[in-house]
Structure 1
């Protein structure tokens, strides 16, 4: 395990595979500014800044250190809150602009969550300044979407984020971590000289090629594979389960691909939510808007597509999307052979999939033609950010000559597995797109077809009513109606001004 912690080189191979970055900072290094709040990646008190070299430039992301194995940080620049003031002092005689702005705008009260907020804002500042991107309200809200404050409310914290650039100018802050040549040279030395010990007898293995991964998995048949670990590590932090050998697949180049091959978009299993979000922003804005509602920025920076699907959670948000596009899953055996399974056949029951013990998800194939068709994704949850779906609907309509020639209605959060409403899809097939009578008949079919579960998040009746309203919403959008949709992005003034008109439309308020 080698990485740069603040300004010190760390080289330590004595730790267990599941030793978290949070424990390492606090217990091994005495850096207690990083706090433990929830130990599940929800509150952001334990946020770390993690820098990597991308295309020759240093870019920082935020991680939840409470569920990040410290050994996964190999070759990275890990920044704790203590380093910001040291760096700020060296550069300008004061605090880092994120810290100074928080002071000036009274963004901290009890202070427990403040280090996490400061690092989230510092990452935004560093990346925006190094790339000459403006910091606006949307980018600030996105940066702190995974940080929970129970004291001040978020207004002064948002004000601080918006004022960091002005604060930096007033303090004559002249040096950025993201532009620091010493940091960059040390990280490049890792990349050029060092390599994760992927084939050793250590307990945390990091193969970098598919061939290495297969070799490692053959040698360690009982080892558990980990990518982002945003769900797996909860077994350690919540249930106190100790893992043995872990194989980290997040560095395997073949599993990180996002490629368009003729008629198909291929997504590697280890592609993170944030990477897919970046790819989708201009190409597939509706996918981008859905991704902004999944978890928090810290989780999206580590969580992967393959992990979300393989976890087989009935409330996962990506399986309905993949169902709507009839995605094929490429499964890879440790002997190197492959097989293809359609997403519709992948789930066998609650937490049960077609994955064999000697298999892993390698990639997902999605038709570019289907991606070009009308599609929408609606997530209903109690909170806008970092919340689990009560109802998730993914819709795809193929239209020819004003008629529906293909229909997909895929739901999450409704049953033990992600499901398609097959009878309801059939009821819409061949119908004229603006036939309201056909829509009403379709909704009646849905009511007779679905029997949603009831749990702490929603009752069966609520889920069914919401599902029907969301199908109506998709039909309205298909016919060109401008329907208000809340995403994880900042709302426009026109949306905010609708006020009571929105709240009276229950089916549309939560979508």
Structure 2
């Protein structure tokens, strides 16, 4: 779609004072998908030269905001970490054409803050940390699970840039389980639950996305029983937190989340080991 209100496109390598009507341009799959009447200038991140994915010396993984879904998928398929399968599972939850896969970015998916955003699911489940850079160069870090605060809402100030997301080494060494449900065979996720079992202390994290307006990451010192898990979800997720749109009613999303969470718990807990 043509953005006929945009008057200028600037290269982000040459900083300019931020002003009303500016927007960061990554892959542009959202920006060019619908009218953006408030925009007057795009600041293009396409030539920043950031490595899409970097394995850091401490074993953690840094994913640049400009990393495309296709680049992340290729990395995940050749990666040998225990959590590697989760990368491809979340990429595949991004139901889109090859053109979107090759343009859409991890940062864009996070910053759109849609409940069904699978990069939100991936980074929240693996206890990722977002690195944010303000216009004056100040850096701050926010947990990926806290970055999205509601449907379409995120912890991002005016002109602030999501630079990268870092996944800690400990999370990458854990076993994971992935479950997803949609109303349609190729539909947007209506409920997505990811479990991650800590390799050191046996703790379990269960992350709920798509069904809720924001991510919910529940941590258990030891894997709970079926009833304990249901109680924890009921206590953490209020009625107003279940998302409601054409892709699923709140009641259905809650039912599917409880069902998928139990499958995840059973797969990763001791009574699920065969």
TM-score, scaled to structure 1? 0.47
- Please name the residue that 2:222 is paired with: 430
1 CA distance for matches of 2:34 and 2:170? 40
Match of 2:64 among 254, 263, 268: 268
Unaligned runs of 5+ in 1: 1-15, 20-68, 70-201, 482-511
Q: Does 1:419 align with 2:216?
A: yes
Q: Using the alignment, how far apart are the partners of 1:380 and 1:418 within structure 2?
A: 16
8 Å CA contact 1:315, 1:418 repeated in 2: no
Deviations 1:149-186 (A, max 9, x none): xxxxxxxxxxxxxxxxxxxxxxxxxxxxxxxxxxxxxx
Aligned-pair CA distance for 1:17:
7.5
User: 2 CA distance for matches of 1:362 and 1:257?
Assistant: 11
The answer for the alignment partner of 2:116 in structure 1 is 315
User: Max radius of gyration: which structure?
Assistant: 1
Aligned residues: 261
Q: Deviations over 1:208-249 (max 9, x none)?
A: xxxx25x13x2766422111111122232xxx7374221221
Which is bigger in relative contact order (C-alpha 8 A, separation at least 6)?
A: 2
The two structures have a TM-score, normalised by structure 2, of 0.83
For residues 213 and 265 of structure 2, the distance between their equivalents in structure 1, rounded to whole angstroms, comes to 27
1-side partners of 2:153 and 2:207: how far apart? 18
Query: Aligned runs of 1:270-289 on 2, under 5 Å?
Result: 270-283=66-79, 284-289=84-89
Q: Is the 8 A contact 1:17 1:246 kept in 2?
A: no
C-alpha RMSD of the superposition: 2.7
Once the two structures are TM-superposed, the CA of residue 444 in structure 1 deviates from its matched residue by 4.3
Are the equivalent residues in 2 in contact too, given 1:17–1:244 (CA < 8 A)? Answer: no
Contact 2:129 2:143 in 1 (8 A): yes
Distance in structure 2 (CA, Å) of the matches to 1:370 and 1:241:
41
Q: For the structure 1 residues 475 and 350, does the alpha-carbon distance in structure 2 shift closer, same or farther, using more than 3 Å as the test?
A: closer
Deviating more after overlay: 325-334 vs 347-356: 347-356
Inter-CA distance 384–370: structure 2 relative to 1 (3 Å threshold):
same
Task: State the partner residue of 1:257.
Answer: 52
The counterpart of 1:477, out of the listed 262, 267, 272, is: 267
Q: Indicate if the aligned counterparts of 1:228 and 1:304 stay in contact, CA closer than 8 A.
A: yes
Q: Secondary structure at the match of 2:208?
A: strand
Q: CA deviation at 1:366?
A: 0.7
Q: Which has the higher strand share?
A: 2
Q: Distance in 1 between matches of 2:162 and 2:101?
A: 19
Alignment match, 1:330:
131
**Local SS of the residue matching 2:255:** helix
Deviation at 1:266, TM superposition (A): 0.6
Question: How far is 1:446 from its partner?
Answer: 2.8
Post-superposition CA distance 1:387-444 (Å, at most 9, x none)? 31110112211155xxx63222221222322223x3xx44xx324xxx8xx2343234
8 Å CA contact 1:393, 1:467 repeated in 2: yes
CA distance, structure 1, for counterparts of residue 216 and residue 228 of structure 2? 20
- Matches of 2:192 and 2:119 in 1, distance apart? 10
Task: Decide whether the 8 Å contact of 2:207 with 2:216 is kept in 1.
Answer: yes
In the alignment, is the contact (CA less than 8 A) between 1:410 and 1:419 conserved in 2?
Answer: yes
